[in-house]
Structure 1
Amino acid sequence: MKDIKVEISLFTQAYEMIFKKLLAWFQTFALMIPNFISAILIFMTFSILARFAKRMSHKILLKTSISEDIILILTRILSIVIILVGVFFCLGILHLEKTVTSLLAGAGIIGLALSFAFQDLATNLISGFMLAVKKPFKVGDHVETNSYSGIISEIDIRAIHIKTFEGQEVIIPSKEVFQKPIKNFTTFGERRIEFVVGVSYTDDLEKVANLAKVALESVPGRDTSKNVEVYFDNFGETSVNLILRLWVNLTLTKNVSLVKHNAIINIQKLFRANSIVIPFPARLQEDTSTEPQHPSILKLEDSNL
């Protein structure tokens, strides 16, 4: 009988303890119902605010020159930030300040770990974002960067796609493009062509300069709004060197190499017609001449080659 009474007593004590605990939880829950309702309402308010801010910021940013990819990223980040602020408000209303502190500390640790793990990816994303904002180039521009030259075929956040003139596609990480020099040959819509030609010491230099100007001015495809330039540069080993310059309007002429090709042909024809001597380079003379002490000179005669 005593054992039965002891068991009944222990059962009663356990029951009373559980009942008191459940009652305390129920009372706490009843007291927190207004806070739960307030938290739910606040979260819904911030969710609506996030959607509204995302929609309005998207409309506003579309009026700027920022690319569509950057706009989507910015509006998405804005929406997430607003929702996170709402979550922290809700946790504060529910008296879960310690949870908020733990979440912030955990987010900091996770962010630090991710920054080390995805350092290159993050750098490329940030560099791509800065390139999209500054816009130093656009699709279709002729650029030269990281020892590659070609036409930009695609721009995304992480990389720049360039189609080289050899028909190859080169994908360069945004970090490499952002941190290193880049030449954009399309920005100003014009390109200067410069090359050097040597003439014999025995030729009349004034006549040579005048003939060179005439030859350049008749080059097809050159920009006629700019004057051609002809300057004697220096005295070489076997020739007096002449710098020739002319401009090309890229909106009218796309093939710059063809313009230079025509310029060289015009120079060669006009010099040959007027018996202007274009010497061999010194190294070529040493290879072809039987008397090195008297270097031979190539004279372009007015004859068919």
Structure 2
Amino acid sequence: MNSEPVSTAWGKIQAMTNSLILLLPNLVLALIVFAVFWFAARAFKSLVRRLTRRHRQARNLGLVLGRLSQGVVILVGLFVALSIVIPSFKVGDLVQLLGISGVAFGFAFRDILQNFLAGILILLTEPFQIDDQIVFKSFEGTVEDIQTRATTIRTYDGRRVVIPNAELFTNSVTVNTAWDNRRLQYDVGIGYGDDIDRAKQLIMEAVANLEVVLREPAPDVLVMELAESTVNIRVRWWISPPRRADALDTRDQVLAAIKNKLTANGIDLPFPTQQILFHDQTEETDGNRSRQREGWPAGNKAVPNSRSISGSLRQLVEMRTQRDGNGNG
């Protein structure tokens, strides 16, 4: 048996083992150096955020600078660690490698990079901030965190929604807490026989007596629509602060006060009214849509007398009985 291949393989294994043993101290040192840079990056990020936390306008900028500085420090630590493990390694080699594979890298991580850049722009331009209450498509809640990849909101029913930053940056977002004051409105329907001016005066009195409604800007009452069964009057009032809980509490008090005030002074709040026309199916032309109209025949014939439902049903039964009798005969 030829032992030369076995000897060659054993020699290569011994060489690799010796190289690993020689490389082990550098590898351990590289791991220690990278760990130092890792903890230094986290400490630097915390320092930047702590310095900007006191100022609301600079808080989002502190998030951006903290995360960018953390990434830069970790990248420098990676370069230093690679230089220790591989002495022949140069930064220029990595830059050249990244330049060659940049196109493929960009296509592979396009969505991630898009969300990252959108997150940076959101943090810099500040269309909304942490603790703001926003509405995005079918989601509504309080902003918990703005990360470089996604923004998380806590809905009012206790759920967490994670929204990619690219969608937030390219679509419309309603910020309910952008300003100190917020206007609410509701349409109240009164009867056509009621005095509109009197109803408006009573509504203004009911709203003005509530402490939760701001005096400036002042509330107002406007006639908005002559509906089918009501005259719709729109009540508009302002609140502060403009958060969801305050809006619901104020709405509850305002509507209760308006209802009690109007009913106490004899103003009608009518229900929707409908007129129902029962189609008379006992006419000879029933089923002929070219001649049959809504309950009476077309043409110059006189409109038939109105009939009760019971009478129409009785006549229908009699006609069918007579028809069946003629057929049997």
TM-score normalised per structure 1: 0.63
- Pairs within 5 Å for 1:69-88: 69-75=63-69
Which one of 166, 191, 209 corresponds to residue 175 of structure 1? 166
1:114 matches 2:105: yes
Cα pair distance change 1:151/1:286, threshold 3 Å? farther
Q: Which runs of 4+ in 1 moved over 4 A?
A: 61-66, 76-83, 102-105, 251-254
**Aligned residue in 2 for 1:145:** 136
Q: Deviations over 1:23-44 (max 9, x none)?
A: xxxxxxxxxxxxxxxxxxxxxx
Matched pairs, number? 221
- Pairs within 5 Å for 1:48-197: 64-75=58-69, 106-197=97-188
**Aligned residue in 2 for 1:242:** 233
1:76 shift after superposition = 5.5
1:212 matches 2:203: yes
Counterparts of 1:163 and 1:79, CA distance in 2: 32
- Aligned residue type for 2:66: L
Cα pair distance change 1:229/1:81, threshold 3 Å? same
Contact persistence 2:182–2:242 (CA under 8 A): no
Deviates more, 1:128-137 or 1:68-77: 68-77
Cα pair distance change 1:278/1:251, threshold 3 Å? closer
Q: Deviations over 1:111-151 (max 9, x none)?
A: 11111111111111111110111112222111111321111
Contact persistence 1:157–1:174 (CA under 8 A): yes
1:240 shift after superposition = 1.1
Counterparts of 2:226 and 2:63, CA distance in 1: 56
Contact persistence 1:193–1:246 (CA under 8 A): yes
Structure 1: 5+ residue stretches without partners: 1-50, 84-98, 288-305
Counterparts of 2:200 and 2:139, CA distance in 1: 36
Query: Counterpart of 2:115 in 1: which secondary structure?
Result: helix
Query: Counterpart of 2:101 in 1: which secondary structure?
Result: helix
Counterparts of 2:184 and 2:60, CA distance in 1: 34
- Aligned residue type for 1:155: I
Cα pair distance change 1:195/1:252, threshold 3 Å? closer
Query: Counterpart of 1:202 in 2: which secondary structure?
Result: coil
Cα RMSD of the aligned pairs, angstroms, is 3.4
Q: Deviations over 1:177-233 (max 9, x none)?
A: 111111111111111111101111111111011011111112341112221110001
Counterparts of 1:185 and 1:105, CA distance in 2: 48
Counterparts of 1:227 and 1:175, CA distance in 2: 39
TM-score normalised per structure 2: 0.58
Counterparts of 1:66 and 1:143, CA distance in 2: 17
- Aligned residue type for 1:146: K
Contact persistence 2:181–2:238 (CA under 8 A): yes
Structure 2: 5+ residue stretches without partners: 1-39, 53-57, 78-90, 277-329
